[in-house]
Amino acid sequence: RLDATAHDPRGDIYGLGATLYFLLAGRPPFAADDPDLPGKIRSAEPASLTALRPDLPPDFVSLVSRMMAKQPDRRPGTVYEVEA
């Protein structure tokens, strides 16, 4: 979470998901020049990877989406879960 005071590995999982999104879509999930970037990260959904990259396997798109879930408890809990 942007406002969290303690480290949670699921924050890193979000970051990895956002990086994968960028690599796959060719653009970041949210525009960096948006003055409400923190608000968008907290509440908005990025453009669907399926719409941007219909060639991607649905299970992989689902994983990236889960990695970028707004609620940390909806993300994979560890990188080992992501790998599996």
Distance CA 83, CA 6 (A): 24
Give residue 31's pLDDT. Answer: 79
Q: What is the 3-state secondary structure (H, E, C) of 45-75?
A: CCCCHHHHCCCCCHHHHHHHHHHCCCCHHHC
pLDDT at 28 over 80: yes
Residue 67 near residue 17 (C-beta atoms within 8 A): yes
Reported as a single tens digit per residue, the pLDDT across 39-51 is 888 888 898 999 9
Give residue 16's pLDDT. Answer: 95
* Number of alpha carbons in the 13 Å side-chain half-sphere of residue 70: 9
Q: What is the pTM assigned to this prediction?
A: 0.83
